C-alpha cells in the first residue's frame, strides 16, 4: 500500500518517503491509498498496547520495512512510561471512562506519535547512512515530546523555537533542561506565529543544512504520528469491551490529528458510535460541524494552550476522505483560496456529519467549572484540555448512546496555574515532571529574525 496527497499531484509514495517528507509537494496531506482492514477476531486475542501496535503499524509500513524490522523498531519505541502497559483507563461511572494517555516521559499524549516518529526517523537514517535536523516551533507539548523522543538518537539534531507566550513554566522547562549535545532549545523573543513563519522559511531555503542531510518536521501533519494514535483507539476498544460494541470518543482537539486517528481506526474496522469534537474558544471546528462554516479567525489565548489554533491542519484529511469521497480535484479547489476565504461545502454533503460527529466549544470559565465538577463529584483531578472533552460529554449526555471514552491528553501537574485558579489542590506530580522543575535551564536566546536563527543552526549543525 502506497500513499498520495489529498490534493492529488504528489502520489505513489512509500511509507519511508512520506515519513521523511512530512507535507506533500502540492501542499496537501498524505493519506494511504486505501484503508487497511483489521481482523477483529485476531485483535480480540491480544492483551497489551505493544501487541496491538505490532498488529496495526505494519499495515502502513510494508512498502518500506518488513514485519520483522517493524517489530524490532516497536520493541524499543515507547519508553520511559510510568504505567506498565503505557495507558490507564479510569472508570468515572457505568457509562463514562477516561483514557489516560499522559503517562509518558513528557506527560502528554504526544509521546505516542512522536516516539514512533523518532524511532522510524532513526531506522531510516541508519539504513540510508544519513543524518537529520529536526526544526520546529512549539506553543506547548509538541516541542517537549519531539525533543524527548529524538534526544537519544545521535543521527538527529533538534532545534526547537520556543516563543514568549502562553506556555506553562513546566512546559518550557521540559525543553530547556534536557542538556544533551544534540538538543538546541531556542528562546525566541516573538510570538508563536513569528516562529512558525521562520520555520516555514527554513524549510524552503535550507541554507543551514549540510550536504545530503534531511530536514524533518515534527508538526502534527506527519502520517506516522497518526499511526501511533490509531493504536490507542484500538487498544481502548479492546480493553473496554473486546471490540464488541461501538463506543463514543470525546477528543479535546486543536489541529484535528487526534480526531482523525479515531476516524481512521473506524475506517479500519473499529466499532465506533460517535466522535465528539471538543474545542476551546478557538472554535473553527465547532463552527464547521454546527454551521458548515470553516473560516479562520484570530487565535485567542486560553487555559488549554495546546488547542489554541486558528486552522485545524489535519481537517483536510477528513474533508478529502469523508465529505469529498476522495475527490482530490475538489479538495484542491476548496483549499485553493483558504484561509483567505472560508470553506463551506454543499449542504447535502455536509449533512453526513451527523452520522458520525458531534461538536462542542467550551470557554475558559466552563473549563474551570468542569475541572471543579470532576474533582468534587468523582475526586478526579484533570488537566484543562481533558476538562474541555469532559465538559462536552456532560453537556451532550442526553444525546449519547453507549459508553463514552474521554481522552485525557495531559497530566494535570503540567498546568499548576489552572489547578490553582480552579481551587484544586493536588500533590500528584509524576517523577519526570518534578525532576524538570528543579533542574537548571539552558537555552540560547535569539531574536525573531531568520538570519540569526539560521546562522545559529549552521554553527551548531
Ligand atoms: C496537542 C494537544 C492537543 C490537541 O491535539 P490535536 O491532535 O491537535 O487534536 C490536546 N491536548 C493536549 C494536551 C495537547 O498537547
Output the pLDDT for position 192. Answer: 85
Output the pLDDT for position 384. Answer: 98
Asked if the peptide bond before residue 165 counts as cis, ω within 30 degrees of 0, the response is no
Ligand 1 atom nearest the C-alpha of 256 is 9
Residue 112 vs residues 105, 168, 292, 349: alpha-carbon distances, Å: 10, 21, 32, 33
398 φ/ψ sector (left φ>0, alpha ψ -120 to 50, else beta): alpha
Which of the 8 DSSP states describes residue 399? G
Q: 129 CA distance to ligand 1 centroid (A)? A: 33
Taking residues 439-444, report their average pLDDT. 93
Ligand 1 pocket, CB under 6 A: 108, 110, 140-141, 220, 252-259, 306-307, 385, 409-410
Ligand 1 atom nearest the C-alpha of 385 is 11
Ligand 1 atom nearest the C-alpha of 102 is 13
Distance separating alpha carbons of residues 35 and 60, to the nearest angstrom: 9
What is the per-residue pLDDT across 23-49, written as a single tens digit (0 to 9) for each? 999 999 999 999 999 999 999 999 999
- Grid coordinates representing 260 are 482523525
Residue of 100, 104, 109 with the most ligand 1 atoms within 8 Å of its CB, for mutation = 109
Taking residues 392-409, report their average pLDDT. 97
Query: Which of 110, 123, 151, 173 is labelled catalytic?
Result: 110
Strand 214-216 to 247-252 pairing: unpaired
Output the pLDDT for position 220. Answer: 83
Q: Where are the alpha helices (DSSP H) in 101-222?
A: 110-128, 141-150, 169-176, 192-205
Output the pLDDT for position 167. Answer: 81
What is the per-residue pLDDT across 119-149, written as a single tens digit (0 to 9) for each? 999 999 999 999 999 999 998 789 999 999 9
Residue (of 330, 432, 416) closest to 381 by Cα position: 416
Q: 255 CA distance to ligand 1 centroid (A)? A: 7
Distance separating alpha carbons of residues 458 and 461, to the nearest angstrom: 5
Task: Tell me whether residue 350 is exposed, middle or buried, using C-beta atoms within 10 angstroms of its C-beta: 0 to 12, 13 to 18, 19 or more.
Answer: middle
Please give the model's pTM, rounded to 2 decimal places. 0.97
Task: Tell me whether residue 18 is exposed, middle or buried, using C-beta atoms within 10 angstroms of its C-beta: 0 to 12, 13 to 18, 19 or more.
Answer: buried
Q: 408 CA distance to ligand 1 centroid (A)? A: 10
Domain spanning 88-105+223-421: CATH 3.40.50.1100:
yes
Output the pLDDT for position 281. Answer: 98
Asked whether residue 151 carries a pLDDT value surpassing 80, the answer given is yes
- Grid coordinates representing 178 are 534536557
Q: Read out DSSP for 260-309?
A: HHHHHHHHTT--EEEEEEEE-S--HHHHHHHHS-B--------SSGGG--
- Grid coordinates representing 318 are 477528513
Where in the chain are the domains? Answer: 88-105+223-421
pLDDT-based confidence at 165, cuts 50/70/90? confident
Long-range Cβ contact pairs of 271-274 (< 8 A, separation 24 or more): 271/237, 271/243, 271/244, 271/245, 271/246, 271/247, 272/246, 272/247, 272/356, 273/246, 273/247, 273/248, 273/400, 273/401, 273/402, 274/248, 274/249, 274/356, 274/357, 274/358, 274/400
What is the per-residue pLDDT across 325-352, written as a single tens digit (0 to 9) for each? 999 999 999 999 999 999 999 999 999 9
pLDDT-based confidence at 108, cuts 50/70/90? very high
Distance separating alpha carbons of residues 361 and 367, to the nearest angstrom: 10
Reply yes or no on whether 110 is catalytic: yes
Output the pLDDT for position 237. Answer: 98
pLDDT-based confidence at 164, cuts 50/70/90? confident
- Grid coordinates representing 402 are 453507549
- Grid coordinates representing 244 are 464488541
Q: Distance of alpha carbon 374 from its chain centroid, rounded? A: 25
Asked if 296 contacts 310 with a C-beta cutoff of 8 angstroms, the reply is yes
Q: 304 CA distance to ligand 1 centroid (A)? A: 9
Output the pLDDT for position 374. Answer: 97
Distance separating alpha carbons of residues 57 and 55, to the nearest angstrom: 6
What percent of the chain stands above pLDDT 90? 94
Q: Whose CA is nearest to atom 7 of ligand 1?
A: 257
Residue (of 116, 137, 146) closest to 19 by Cα position: 116
pLDDT-based confidence at 162, cuts 50/70/90? very high
Q: Whose CA is nearest to atom 9 of ligand 1?
A: 253
158 φ, ψ (degrees, to nearest 5): -110, 130
Amino acid at each position: 500500500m502506497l500513499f498520495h496527497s489529498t490534493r492529488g499531484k504528489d502520489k505513489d509514495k512509500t511509507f519511508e518517503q512520506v515519513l521523511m517528507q512530512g507535507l506533500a509537494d502540492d501542499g496537501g496531506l498524505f493519506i494511504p491509498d486505501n484503508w487497511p482492514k483489521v481482523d477483529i477476531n485476531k485483535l480480540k486475542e491480544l492483551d497489551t498496547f505493544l501487541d496491538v501496535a505490532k498488529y496495526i503499524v505494519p499495515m502502513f509500513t510494508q512498502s518500506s520495512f518488513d514485519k520483522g524490522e517493524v517489530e524490532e523498531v516497536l520493541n524499543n519505541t515507547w519508553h520511559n512510561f510510568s504505567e506498565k502497559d503505557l495507558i490507564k483507563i479510569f472508570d468515572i461511572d457505568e457509562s463514562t471512562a477516561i483514557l489516560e494517555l499522559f503517562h509518558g516521559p513528557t506527560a502528554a499524549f504526544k509521546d505516542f506519535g512522536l516516539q514512533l516518529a523518532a524511532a522510524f526517523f532513526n531506522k531510516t537514517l541508519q539504513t540510508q547512512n544519513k543524518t537529520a535536523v529536526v526544526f520546529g516551533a512549539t506553543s506547548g507539548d509538541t516541542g517537549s515530546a519531539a525533543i524527548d523522543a529524538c534526544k537519544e538518537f545521535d543521527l538527529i539534531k533538534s532545534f526547537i523555537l520556543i516563543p514568549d507566550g502562553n506556555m506553562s513554566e513546566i512546559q518550557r522547562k521540559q525543553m530547556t533542561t534536557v542538556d544533551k549535545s544534540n538538543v538546541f532549545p531556542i528562546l525566541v523573543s516573538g510570538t508563536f506565529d513569528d516562529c512558525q513563519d521562520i520555520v516555514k522559511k527554513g524549510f524552503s531555503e535550507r541554507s543551514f543544512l549540510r550536504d545530503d542531510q534531511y530536514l524533518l518536521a515534527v508538526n502534527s501533519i506527519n502520517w506516522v504520528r497518526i499511526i501511533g494514535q490509531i493504536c490507542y483507539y484500538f487498544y481502548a476498544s479492546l480493553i473496554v469491551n473486546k471490540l464488541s460494541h461501538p463506543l463514543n470518543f470525546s477528543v479535546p482537539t486543536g489541529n484535528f490529528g487526534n480526531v482523525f486517528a479515531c476516524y481512521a481506526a473506524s475506517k479500519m474496522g473499529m466499532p465506533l458510535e460517535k466522535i465528539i469534537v471538543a474545542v476551546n474558544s478557538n472554535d473553527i471546528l465547532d463552527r464547521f460541524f454546527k454551521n458548515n462554516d470553516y473560516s479562520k479567525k484570530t487565535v485567542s489565548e486560553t487555559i488549554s494552550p495546546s488547542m489554541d489554533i486558528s486552522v485545524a491542519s489535519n481537517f483536510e484529511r477528513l474533508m478529502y476522505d469523508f465529505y469529498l469521497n476522495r475527490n482530490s480535484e475538489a479538495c484542491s479547489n476548496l483549499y485553493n483560496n483558504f484561509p483567505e476565504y472560508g470553506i463551506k461545502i454543499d449542504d447535502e454533503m455536509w449533512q453526513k456529519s451527523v452520522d458520525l460527529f458531534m461538536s462542542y466549544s467550551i470557554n475558559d470559565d466552563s473549563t474551570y467549572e468542569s475541572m471543579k465538577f470532576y474533582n468534587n463529584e468523582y475526586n478526579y483531578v484533570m488537566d484543562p484540555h481533558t476538562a474541555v472533552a469532559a465538559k462536552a460529554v456532560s453537556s451532550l449526555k442526553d444525546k449519547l448512546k453507549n459508553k463514552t471514552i474521554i481522552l485525557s491528553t495531559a497530566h494535570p501537574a503540567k498546568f499548576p496555574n489552572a489547578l490553582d485558579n480552579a481551587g484544586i489542590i493536588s500533590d500528584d506530580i509524576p517523577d519526570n515532571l518534578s525532576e524538570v522543575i528543579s533542574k537548571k535551564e539552558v537555552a540560547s536566546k535569539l531574536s525573531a529574525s531568520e538570519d540569526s536563527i539560521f546562522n545559529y543552526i549552521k554553527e551548531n549543525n
